[in-house]
């Protein structure tokens, strides 16, 4: 279907008083969300399906909005409607009647973030005969639009305030700030200042169809204050699977980070600074240490830890009693535990637990803080087969100086454990910051040093950890990985039919036989930069519960040929040499450099097919679309692998070339 013949109207005149001092510098529509002004993100969606003109009303910071429009892709379609004084949500439509009286139009408040299929709204409006189709959702604390069983609007409680009347029992929904209208709606608006709700109720009483379209469950954020703005920025960051955003037009010195860090255009961070959960707006300059803040050109807004979280994390926040035996020793509240007394939730012996992490795991991790101490709570499903392994591996690895988080306490019955808090800065996030080549290489050397310890000292004592010793990465598992690639990536994500499946399977059979034949030791199995934390400047390893007995080259393939971060070829060669030198220095009879290098190409093939299979599964089945951005690099690496092994696996060459 081509574009709909509808115009667009964006109310953009408001003062944004609850967002001051931010809006002393920028009007709300121009507040950036990872480099894109809110109004620009809205128009990108609407102009993809609506071919009409774009009306924008103006009052506060009108010159900035005009300047933005003049540089935008829609400058020739935009019509301004200045207001002095501000006319309200209804008066704005009446004032723009010269544009809006021609044909149906969409209204989208320019401080709203909403993720819906806008074509559904337009289709429903055009097919229904509605004079107004209001996009609504069910949030009890905001639901003040009274509807009947057909969704017809009957009344609006406290118009303009989104504040329900608790004494009135009725079916109510909350208006999102988005609607589709027919021009007839304008006849129900008075001249001058008014609210759009006046027209809804008047049209409904006159027998016109004014219906609510329920989008409950869709992402919605009304950017009205610093907390909701921060949440919108961090939600966008989470949608990308990131914790760090640096605008190309920002300036960044040597910097220590933790949590979420956003540097918008024309912001600057001075050398030696530390940022944790901070958003720097255009023109901001930061030096020193800052935590849980929005920083602007001449102001700082301090927020709580839970306010500086994405929506899903804020929604999952919970209160936990520190007298629970799992937490008591770590947080020093033994007395309450010994008396078997559970304190009231308002007691200081309770703490907020805030969801953390953005990975592909179904496990949930919460940060618990109290009296200057912190820890990470891991919660697993009752049927999680890796819980016992996680605990056993933690103790075993720590005993042989593999740098894993310390285990403070465990609750085996409820599949919970309390770990050392390593912060939120993964190697992946660290690499988002500007670093010279020498610094990057130094960090990777430390990472490889830990891997050598895993591959040697820990492997020599694997008999002390029977759960790991029995966990063999064998032929069947290698074939599972490559079948996973065929099913989840080739057929699942790319929707390709494999013309020569028997031939491809024969090649994968030979590959699995080859990798399985190499000597096995302990490997992490998912040793990539998102599973390495930089804590106090030192790399630490997480997500190791999948460790197995397999050829060590699999881990080297994972970290040095990592789709999450492309190493310079020369740096990679030096790092590989470093690993080999360290392994040779151990003088281990089971390590042969020539055999290791032979195994490396086969392990790279295995690893990159496994990664692509995982990206297909996580994006298509789990809905984590941000993994798709890593597909091009994983495919590039896989094609490099095949270039070195083309003669051994000709069946795979045609398949991979088609991808």
Write down which residue in 370, 395, 419 finishes a domain.
419
**Secondary structure (3-state) at 308:** coil
pLDDT value of position 332: 81
Do residues 135 and 270 both lie within one domain?
no
**Per-residue buried b or exposed e for 218-235, using 16+ beta carbons within 10 Å of the residue's own CB:** eebbbbbbbbbbbbbbbb
Residue 124 falls inside a structural domain: yes
Do residues 241 and 168 both lie within one domain?
no
Do residues 649 and 501 both lie within one domain?
yes
pLDDT value of position 544: 96
DSSP per residue over 328-368, as a string? HHHHT-HHHHHTT----TTSTTEEEEEEE--SS-S-EEEEE
**CATH at 624:** 3.90.1200.10
Q: In whole angstroms, what is the distance from residue 546 CA to residue 575 CA?
A: 25
**CATH at 404:** 3.30.200
Do residues 93 and 166 both lie within one domain?
yes
Do residues 28 and 104 both lie within one domain?
yes
Write down which residue in 419, 454, 489 finishes a domain.
419
Residue 312 falls inside a structural domain: no
pLDDT value of position 336: 45
Instruction: Evaluate whether 243 touches 310 at the Cβ level (below 8 Å).
Output: no
Number of domains in the chain: 4
Residue 308 falls inside a structural domain: no
pLDDT value of position 337: 42
Do residues 530 and 622 both lie within one domain?
yes
Residue 93 falls inside a structural domain: yes
The helix (H) or strand (E) run that includes residue 262 is strand 255-263
pLDDT value of position 348: 64
Q: In whole angstroms, what is the distance from residue 267 CA to residue 281 CA?
A: 6
Sign of the alpha-carbon dihedral angle for 591, 596, 597, 598: positive
**CATH at 68:** 3.90.550.10
Do residues 142 and 265 both lie within one domain?
no
**Secondary structure (3-state) at 32:** strand
Residue 190 falls inside a structural domain: yes
- Dump strand ranges (E) for 144-204: 145-147, 153-156, 172-181
Classify residue 197 by its DSSP letter.
Answer: H
Residue 1 falls inside a structural domain: no
Residue 651 falls inside a structural domain: yes
3-state secondary structure 358-376: CCCCCCEEEEEEECCEEEE
Do residues 205 and 238 both lie within one domain?
no
Instruction: Evaluate whether 615 touches 489 at the Cβ level (below 8 Å).
Output: yes
Do residues 250 and 372 both lie within one domain?
no
pLDDT value of position 468: 97
Strands 521-523 and 548-550, how do they pair? antiparallel
Domain enclosing residue 114, as ranges: 7-222
Q: In whole angstroms, what is the distance from residue 573 CA to residue 591 CA?
A: 19
**Secondary structure (3-state) at 654:** helix
pLDDT averaged per 10 residues in sequence order, the chain, 659 residues = 86 95 96 97 96 96 97 96 95 96 96 94 95 94 91 88 82 94 96 94 96 94 95 95 95 92 96 96 96 97 93 86 92 58 62 79 86 93 91 97 97 95 95 92 97 96 97 96 96 92 94 96 96 94 96 98 96 97 87 94 97 96 93 96 90 88
pLDDT value of position 583: 95
Do residues 296 and 345 both lie within one domain?
no
Write down which residue in 278, 302, 326 finishes a domain.
302
Do residues 233 and 330 both lie within one domain?
no
Do residues 151 and 288 both lie within one domain?
no
Q: Exposed/middle/buried for 586, CB within 10 Å: 0-12, 13-18, 19+?
A: middle
Residue 309 falls inside a structural domain: no
Q: In whole angstroms, what is the distance from residue 156 CA to residue 366 CA?
A: 40
């Amino acid at each position: 279907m081509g574009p709909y013949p509808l115009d667009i109207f964006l109310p953009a005149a408001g003062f944004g008083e609850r967002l001051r001092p931010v809006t002393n510098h920028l009007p709300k529509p121009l507040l950036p969300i990872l480099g894109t002004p809110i109004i620009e993100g809205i128009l990108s969606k609407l102009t993809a399906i609506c071919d009409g003109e774009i009306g924008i009303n103006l009052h506060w910071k009108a010159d900035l909005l005009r300047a933005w429009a003049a540089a935008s892709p829609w400058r020739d379609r935009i019509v301004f409607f200045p207001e002095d004084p501000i006319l309200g949500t209804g008066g704005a439509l009446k004032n723009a009647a010269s544009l809006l009286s021609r044909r149906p139009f969409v209204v989208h408040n320019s401080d709203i973030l909403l993720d819906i299929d806008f074509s559904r709204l337009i289709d429903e409006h055009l097919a229904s005969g509605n004079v107004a189709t209001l996009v609504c959702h069910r949030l009890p604390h905001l639901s003040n639009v009274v509807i009947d069983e057909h969704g017809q609007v009957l009344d609006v409680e406290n118009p303009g305030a989104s504040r329900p009347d608790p004494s009135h029992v009725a079916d109510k929904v909350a208006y999102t700030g988005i609607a589709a209208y027919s021009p007839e709606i304008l006849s129900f608006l008075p001249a001058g200042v008014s609210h759009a709700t006046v027209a809804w109720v008047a049209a409904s009483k006159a027998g016109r169809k004014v219906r609510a379209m329920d989008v409950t469950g869709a992402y919605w954020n009304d950017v009205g204050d610093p907390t909701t703005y921060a949440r919108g920025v961090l939600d966008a960051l989470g949608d990308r699977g990131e914790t760090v955003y640096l605008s190309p037009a920002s300036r960044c010195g040597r910097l220590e980070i933790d949590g979420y860090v956003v540097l918008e255009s024309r912001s600057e961070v001075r050398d030696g600074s530390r940022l944790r959960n901070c958003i720097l707006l255009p023109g901001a300059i930061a030096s020193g240490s800052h935590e849980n803040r929005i920083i602007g050109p001449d102001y700082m807004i301090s927020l709580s830890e839970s306010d500086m979280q994405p929506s899903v994390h804020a929604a999952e926040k919970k209160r936990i009693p520190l007298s629970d035996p799992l937490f008591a020793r770590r947080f020093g509240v033994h007395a309450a535990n010994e008396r078997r007394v559970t304190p009231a939730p308002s007691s200081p012996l309770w703490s907020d637990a805030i969801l953390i992490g953005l990975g592909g795991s179904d496990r949930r991790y919460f940060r618990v803080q109290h009296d200057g101490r912190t820890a990470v709570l891991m919660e697993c499903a009752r049927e999680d087969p890796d819980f016992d392994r996680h605990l056993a591996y933690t103790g075993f690895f720590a005993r042989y100086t593999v740098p894993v988080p310390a285990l403070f306490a465990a609750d085996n019955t409820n599949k919970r454990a309390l770990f050392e808090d390593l912060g939120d800065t993964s190697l992946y996030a660290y690499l988002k910051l500007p670093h010279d080549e020498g610094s990057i290489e130094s960090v990777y050397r430390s990472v490889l040093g830990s891997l050598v310890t895993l591959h040697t000292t820990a492997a020599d004592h694997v008999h002390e950890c029977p759960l790991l010793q029995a966990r063999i990465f064998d032929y069947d598992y290698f074939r599972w990985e490559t079948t996973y690639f065929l099913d989840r990536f080739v057929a699942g994500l790319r929707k390709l039919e494999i013309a020569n499946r028997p031939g491809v399977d024969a090649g994968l059979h030979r590959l699995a036989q080859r990798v399985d034949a190499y000597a096995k030791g302990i490997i992490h199995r998912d040793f990539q930069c998102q599973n390495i934390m930089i804590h106090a400047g030192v790399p630490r390893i997480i997500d190791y519960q999948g460790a197995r007995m397999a050829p060590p080259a699999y881990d080297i393939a994972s970290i040095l040929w990592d789709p999450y971060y492309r190493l310079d070829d020369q740096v990679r060669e030096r790092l590989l040499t470093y690993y080999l030198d360290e392994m040779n220095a151990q003088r281990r009879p089971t390590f042969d450099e020539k055999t290791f290098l032979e195994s490396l190409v086969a392990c790279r093939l295995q690893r990159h097919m496994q990664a692509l299979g995982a990206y297909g599964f996580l994006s298509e089945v789990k809905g984590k679309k941000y993994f798709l951005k890593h597909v091009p690099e994983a495919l590039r690496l896989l094609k490099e692998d095949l270039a070195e092994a083309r003669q051994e696996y000709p069946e795979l060459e045609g398949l991979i070339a088609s991808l």
